[in-house]
Amino acid sequence: MGACVLIALAVALYGLSEARRDPAVRRITLPLADWPAGAKPVRAVLISDVHFGNLAMGRQRLGRIVERIDALKPDIVLIAGDFIAGHTADLARASSADLAAGLSRLRAPLGVVAVLGNHDYGTDVAAVLRTLARANITVLKNEATRRGPLAIGGIDDIGHRHGDIPGTMRALASLPGARIVMMHDPDAVRAMRRHSLETRLPDNGPRLIVAGHTHCGQIAVPGLGPVLTLIDHRTTFRCGVSSAGRDKVVVTSGVGTSILPIRIDAPPDLWVLTLGPAATRPEP
């Protein structure tokens, strides 16, 4: 029994240290259709699942992550939801002022654009929105915005039935530019395709779709894979880069943790997305 306790404690401490490590920086160059003529490529940084307020994400670690993002000199920052660890008490304990202060230090000429996640709706969502407003973050709730050469649509959280996919697609189609769809839960990708078939709504593809939520499993058994994927479509959109028809999907592991403040074989990450016309070359 004593040995089992020691092993469990060692695993927990290792998992906490992995959860608190600096996020890996992953890079990809993605040519996008409908890139405005003469517009320069855009460097976007994608993060998700901050989950501020638990042992893996406090003021100091958030500050390091923001510094790391700013050092990448992004043109725009995209945040795919879940700012809070999950309960109203987490928001109070973490201090919304600390969260706003940390996120407000993000520097990007085209701004910071976000969607909400299921944990944000599990708290006082109005308080979350006020916090993000203080940090000058634009939150898209089934809306679209134009940022430089990009037209960005944001689908609200489908887990709490706030997502309006047809409404978001209509808003996105009304804007010129290369199209990006933001969502928290990548299961919304399947819902997007189903809505297109059922309603004959134009899919306006090809697009870039960005999401989080899965934590790339968060806790994985080496050689066996993730213990929990957090999505219904358990493999295709679990982690990393994949395709959905003509669309390209990027799912980040996120920078925080959910439920348990540990990660095993599923490191936190952020993505640097170099976006441009068809001839765009990868950054050196």
- Domains detected in the chain: 2-276 (3.60.21.10)
C-alpha 60/C-alpha 98 separation (Å) is 10
Edge-to-edge order in the sheet of strand 112-114: 24-31, 269-276, 42-47, 76-79, 112-114, 137-139
Mean pLDDT, all residues of the chain? 87
**113-121 mean pLDDT:** 95
- Tell me the pLDDT tens digit for each residue of 63-88: 999 999 999 999 999 999 999 986 65
**10-17 mean pLDDT:** 76
Q: Which amino acid is at 127?
A: A
* pLDDT score recorded for residue 279: 67
Q: Residue 198: is its pLDDT beyond 60?
A: no
* pLDDT score recorded for residue 203: 54
**46-52 mean pLDDT:** 97
- Tell me the pLDDT tens digit for each residue of 158-178: 988 899 999 999 999 999 999
Helix (H, G, I), strand (E, B) or coil at 216: helix
pTM for this prediction = 0.91
Report in angstroms the alpha-carbon separations of 247 from 32, 53, 122, 235: 10, 34, 30, 17
**95-113 mean pLDDT:** 95
Q: Residue 232: is its pLDDT beyond 80?
A: no
Q: Output the six-digit token pair for 61.
A: 């670690």
User: In terms of pLDDT, which residue wins out, 275 or 1?
Assistant: 275
Percentage of the chain beyond pLDDT 90 is 58
